[in-house]
């Protein structure tokens, strides 16, 4: 049998190749490669899709986090409350600004930040809460928004894995002061290179971020502040315009594939499936289909023997990463995050994945 990858972007391209080539060639022939009409067009379409006043394209998801926090005034001496179970860039942006990440443990069911642990972490130095919609599953934004409102805190949503996910019909990226998205190629809405987006309803923040992404300048070689070189590339915007029109269909296929996995794992006692969501409540977009298994390494070995990919996202929680050793955290500080790192396993999921392949994967996993 053919190998089964975690993601097969070549198969996705097959259905959009002609339109993609036209859009990219149009950019090349235009001679305008930075902050042109494709970027403006994508920003407008993305803002409408998320349901916010502004969407600002930047160079990466990491930059989206960093610029969002900086536009909120985050800097040395400030604290930002976030999860210890996510990709490193979530705290990398905080550290880059000289601020301190403060961890609250995760909910063992959703793997998102445990909202019951947030308030005990708030101090006089807390500036913001940074929830992550991990693996495409929305965090509990109703509770987070309520806590932030009572304590006068800002919210930056890490939406790197959740483009199209929603709570009560409201898209992630539309709850906080800002939402930060990544267009890394493997994302549900992925570019053909790096790219990011910031969403906000604040006119002030949008204006500040547009300056920050362009060396602190609105043009004319006049610089209001020291900014960044962080602009969404015009060719990547063209790619994203093609894909955004199809995103809901892609995400619906991911949900269907996830439901198949759930069905095939029914009765497999060792397998803990990810949370599911329904329209009107929490709409999961399954950037990853992540199970938990007490014999993970054996499962991975069985899959590997059948040429089936699997991945561990993430093997080491953030509080135990070498880069933050200076913070003094140790084993046992955040037990739910540490337990997740020992048991999580992501299985292949993408719109083009065949149903019979899902059944085959599920049988192998269930046999362990």
**228 vs 214: CA distance, rounded Å:** 6
Q: Is the pTM of this model over 0.95?
A: yes
Q: Angle between the 247-265 and 355-366 helix axes, to the nearest 10 degrees? A: 40
Q: What string of H, E and C letters represents the secondary structure of 18-70?
A: HHHHHHHHHHHHHCCCECCHHHHHHHHHHHHHHCCCEEEEECCHHHHHHHHHH
**Closest of 312, 294, 297, 305 to residue 361, by C-alpha:** 305
Quick count: other Cβ atoms within 10 Å of Cβ 44?
12
Helix axes 296-305, 355-366, angle to 10 degrees: 130
Structure tokens at 39: 């970027």
CA proximity to 364, closest of 10, 1, 109, 12:
1
Residue written as token pair 């209001």: 224
- Quote the pLDDT of residue 281: 77
Query: Which alpha helices (DSSP H) does the chain contain, by range?
Result: 9-14, 17-30, 37-50, 61-71, 89-96, 141-151, 203-212, 234-244, 247-265, 296-305, 335-343, 355-366
Shortest CA distance to 273 belongs to which of 349, 334, 167, 332?
349
Please name the residues in contact with 15: beta carbons below 8 A apart, sequence gap of 6 or more.
none
Model confidence pLDDT, tens digit, residues 334-344: 999 999 999 99
Q: What is the pLDDT of residues 84-119, one digit of tens each?
A: 999 999 999 999 999 999 999 999 999 999 999 999
**CA–CA distance, 200 with 357 (Å, rounded to integer):** 40
* CATH class of the domain at 247-366: alpha beta
Q: pLDDT tens, 177-236?
A: 999 999 999 999 999 999 999 999 999 999 999 999 999 999 999 999 999 999 999 999
In contact, 203 and 210? CB cutoff 8 Å: no
- Tokens for 111? 């793997």
pLDDT at residue 280 tops 60:
no
Local confidence band at 282 (pLDDT 50, 70, 90 cut-offs): confident
pLDDT at 279 > cutoff 80: no
For residue 217, the SS3 value is strand
Determine the length of the chain: 368
Fold of the CATH domain 9-104+111-244: 3.40.640
Q: Is the pLDDT of residue 277 over 70?
A: no
Q: How confident is the model at residue 278 (pLDDT cuts 50, 70, 90)?
A: low
Average pLDDT over residues 314-319: 98
The mean predicted confidence, pLDDT, of the chain is 97
pLDDT at 268: 87
Domain ranges of the chain: 9-104+111-244, 247-366
Which pLDDT score is estimated for 68?
98
Q: Percentage of residues in the chain with pLDDT exceeding 90?
A: 97
Q: What is the pLDDT of residues 105-156, one digit of tens each?
A: 999 999 999 999 999 999 999 999 999 999 999 999 999 999 999 999 999 9
Q: Are strands 289-292 and 344-347 parallel, antiparallel or unpaired?
A: antiparallel
Mean pLDDT of the 48-74 span: 98
Q: In this prediction, what percent of the chain has a pLDDT beyond 70? A: 99
Contact 161, 172 (CB under 8 A): no
């Amino acid at each position: 049998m053919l190998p089964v990858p975690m993601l097969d972007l070549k198969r996705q391209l097959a259905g959009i190749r002609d339109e993609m080539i036209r859009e990219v060639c149009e950019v090349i022939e235009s001679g305008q490669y930075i902050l042109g009409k494709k970027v403006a067009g994508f920003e407008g379409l993305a803002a409408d899709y998320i349901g916010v006043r502004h969407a600002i394209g930047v160079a990466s998801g990491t930059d989206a986090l960093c610029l969002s926090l900086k536009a909120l005034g985050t800097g040395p001496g400030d604290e930002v409350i976030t999860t210890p179970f996510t990709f490193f860039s979530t705290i990398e942006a905080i550290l880059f600004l000289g601020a301190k990440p403060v961890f609250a443990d995760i909910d063992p069911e959703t793997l998102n930040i445990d909202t019951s642990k947030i308030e005990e972490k708030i101090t006089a130095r807390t500036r913001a809460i940074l929830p992550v919609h991990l693996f495409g599953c929305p965090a509990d934004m109703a509770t987070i928004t309520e806590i932030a409102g009572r304590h006068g805190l800002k919210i930056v949503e890490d939406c790197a894995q959740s483009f199209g996910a929603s709570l009560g019909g409201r898209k992630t990226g539309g709850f906080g002061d800002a939402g930060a998205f990544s267009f890394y190629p493997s994302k549900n809405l992925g570019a053909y290179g790096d790219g990011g987006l910031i969403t906000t309803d604040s006119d002030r923040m949008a204006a500040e971020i547009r300056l920050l992404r362009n060396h602190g300048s609105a043009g004319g070689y006049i610089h209001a502040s020291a900014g960044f070189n962080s602009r969404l590339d015009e060719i990547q915007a063209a790619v994203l315009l093609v894909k955004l029109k199809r995103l809901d269909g892609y995400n619906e296929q991911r949900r269907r594939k996830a439901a198949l996995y759930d069905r095939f794992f029914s009765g497999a006692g060792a397998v803990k499936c990810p949370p599911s969501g329904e329209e009107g409540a929490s709409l999961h977009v399954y950037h990853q289909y992540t199970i938990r298994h007490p014999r993970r390494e054996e499962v991975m070995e069985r899959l590997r023997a059948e040429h089936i990919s699997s991945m561990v996202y993430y093997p080491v929680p953030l509080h135990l990463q070498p880069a933050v050793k200076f913070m003094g955290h140790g084993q046992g500080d955040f037990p739910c995050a540490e337990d997740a790192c020992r048991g999580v396993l992501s299985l292949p999921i993408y719109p083009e994945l065949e149903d019979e392949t899902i059944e085959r994967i599920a049988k192998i996993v269930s046999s362990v």
